[in-house]
A and B are shown apart, each in its own frame.
Chain A
Amino acid sequence: MPEQPIIRIEDLHFTYPGDSAETLRGLSLEIAEGSFVAVLGHNGSGKSTLAKLLNAILLPTSGKVYVCGRDTEDEEHLLDIRRSVGLVFQNPDNQIVANVVEDDVAFAPENLGVEPQEIRSRVDEALRTVGMYEYRLHAPHLLSGGQKQRVAIAGALAMQPRVLVLDEPTAMLDPLGRREVISTVERLCRERGMTVVLITHHMSECVNADRLIALSDGMVTADGTPREVFSQVELLKREGLTVPATVRLLYALREAGFDVPLDALSVDECADAVAALLLARGRV
């Protein structure tokens, strides 16, 4: 028997109070435990709204969201759901509440009344996991953007969630900061079995995901492995999403009548495919 999905969404509709139009228009999805799912979509497509529905900050207008089998509308389970789904947002500065890194990470478990000793070990563990243990006594506002986001992730981890939802966590970071955050998240998924839902505009951050979901105007327009989704070049362009340079090159060669795979996503795979073509044609 297949394992039950950690998140199950059934015909989810959502309209903000007082809004005339629906923001989410009939979403059905299942997310497998331990998977790394990237969510893409133009601004206003409903990504952040979906993130908030996953930990019951918002509740469905109709349809259902189940987290670990529990209905998010079931008030009895609210605390459990909030604990199971950790949320990290775009702006690292808005997420910091304390003047010392370790206090910041301890904030949520303290609020939930977790035992002091237990908090201590969770905070240390969380900071080690994101590679920020050495900074535990530093002032958060003096850290780089990538470091701040890793502290925010540690804060979410201290709640020991089973799902980590990150809403454009790298949008304000420089390339190094982006690499730090993405490699942290990938490690959490691959080594700790954490389920990760990563909302992002950066295609390079999705390449290693197990699954990529594209939203448009509150509906799913593409859902598959990165290879499957990125090779739908026309669809991505239509949705205003950027296509990785690897796929654009392969696509241009296909359009010119050459037989190359469209799913050689990484730089090396793409270079191998193109070099093989040129070699076969005696151009190298």
Chain B
Amino acid sequence: MESIIRTEKLTHVYSRGTPFEKTAIHDVNVEIYRGELVAVIGHTGSGKSTFMQHLNGLLRPDEGGVYVEGEDIFATKEATRDVRFKVGLVFQYPEYQLFEETVYKDIAFGPRNMRLSEAEIDERVRESARLTGVGEELFERSPLELSGGQKRRVAIAGVMAMRPRVLILDEPTAGLDPAGCAGVLKNITDYREATGSTVLLVTHSMDDAARIADRLIVFHEGTIAMDGMPEEVFSRQRELVDMGLDVPQSAAIADALRARGVQLPSSIYTSRRLREAVVALAKGVAPC
């Protein structure tokens, strides 16, 4: 596997030297591989947003470094600027940052900053609007007139339009209803499929993480407490609950069945896998 982002001893301290000094992340070493979809979980204040904002150079580490495709992103001013186009960051509640008069202009803002030609900008706006299910009939509307779910998609489309090699999303489904969540998750997986991009997303929903991630990184008090495939991480239910987290309900059911003597493979943490395995068992077919 080819590494695309690496952090070395990444440490960030807010308000250093004041009574409010706070070490938000400490000594974080992580390697992200090209094409992965990584979900980052952790309780509020565990350092997820601080970590993510280093990956595209928005925050500077107090110690340690970030390497994107092998390059130290803080080595020069140019490197720090260029990384914004390679690593696209969708903030938490990005809809509060829509500011252009029209949806089209908002999505075009990033590509325009990249000094692309009008034709290229137009192509990208249309492509990312399609990927996020933002209909072209909305292009001339003011973003303020849209529903919460639509605004969220416009904001995500704006970052996708820069076609970053790594797409980072900070709690992209927070506050949306189940249909809105499912829609945004599908936009993200569609983008990844269409572009082969690497995706990192922060979520509080263990079910979302279970559904789409290849890998889970768990933050706790500013460091990485767990890092592994969903089945590995979700098999540590007790520890997760102690950290204020959870496992998907399907993983908890699988666990409860095992405790009752039912033989189930360890890799069950989504509703679909659980249903398949249990129905197969009931029918007398060995689950795979």
Contact = CB atoms under 8 A, between A and B. Distances in A.
Interface of A: 42-44, 90, 144-146, 168, 171-177, 201, 204, 240-242, 244-246, 248-249, 252-253, 256, 258, 267-268, 270-272, 274-275, 277-278, 281, 283-284
Given A253-B278, A275-B257, A267 B179 contact: no
Interface string B237-269: 000000011101110110011011111000000
B119 interface: no
A180 to B, nearest CB: 9
A268 B256 CA distance: 7
A176 B261 contact: no
A245 B271 contact: yes
B282 A278 contact: yes
Contact of B244 (A171, A176, A204): A176
Given A176-B245, A248-B271, A256-B282, A271 B175 contact: no
Nearest to B247: A175
Nearest to B20: A142
A252 B275 contact: yes
B236 to A, nearest CB: 15
A234 B64 CA distance: 53
Contacts of A168: 175
A282 to B, nearest CB: 9
Contacts of B282: 253, 256, 258, 277-278, 281, 283
A44 B275 CA distance: 32
B206 interface: yes
Q: Report the 5 A-B pairs with minimum CB-CB distance, sorted nearest first.
A: A176-B244, A271-B256, A275-B260, A245-B249, A252-B275
A42 B179 CA distance: 7
B57 interface: no
A93 to B, nearest CB: 11
Given A174-B244, A240-B179, A245 B284 contact: no
Contact of A249 (B178, B271, B284): B271
Contacts, number: 112
Given A271-B256, A275-B262, A283-B281, A144 B274 contact: no
B12 to A, nearest CB: 18
Contact of A43 (B42, B149, B257): B149
25 contacts: A42-B177, A43-B176, A43-B177, A44-B147, A171-B175, A173-B204, A174-B42, A174-B43, A174-B244, A204-B249, A245-B249, A245-B271, A249-B253, A252-B275, A252-B278, A252-B279, A256-B279, A258-B282, A267-B252, A271-B256, A274-B262, A275-B257, A275-B260, A278-B262, A284-B261
B260 A245 contact: no
A141 B179 CA distance: 31
Contacts of A44: 147
A2 B176 CA distance: 39
Nearest to B270: A245
B59 interface: no
B228 interface: no
Contacts of B261: 275, 284
Contacts of B179: 42-43, 240
B178 A241 contact: yes
A172 to B, nearest CB: 6
A267 B271 CA distance: 13
B249 A244 contact: yes
Between A42, A43, A245, the greatest number of chain B beta carbons within 10 A of the residue's beta carbon is seen for A245
Between A144, A168, A249, A270, the greatest number of chain B beta carbons within 10 A of the residue's beta carbon is seen for A249
A174 B253 contact: no
Contacts of B250: 245, 249
B79 interface: no
A174 B260 contact: no
Contacts of A249: 250, 253, 271, 274-275, 278
A172 B249 contact: no
Contacts of B253: 245-246, 249, 267, 270-271, 274
A174 B252 contact: no
B225 interface: no
Contact of B44 (A144, A201, A278): A144
Nearest to A268: B256
Given A174-B244, A177-B43, 10 more contacts: A42-B177, A174-B43, A204-B249, A245-B249, A249-B250, A249-B253, A249-B274, A275-B257, A283-B262, A283-B284
A171 B175 CA distance: 5
A248 to B, nearest CB: 5
Contacts of B147: 43-44
A42 B183 CA distance: 13
Contact of B204 (A42, A174, A246, A283): A174
Contacts of A172: 174-175
A175 B218 CA distance: 13
Contacts of A240: 177-179
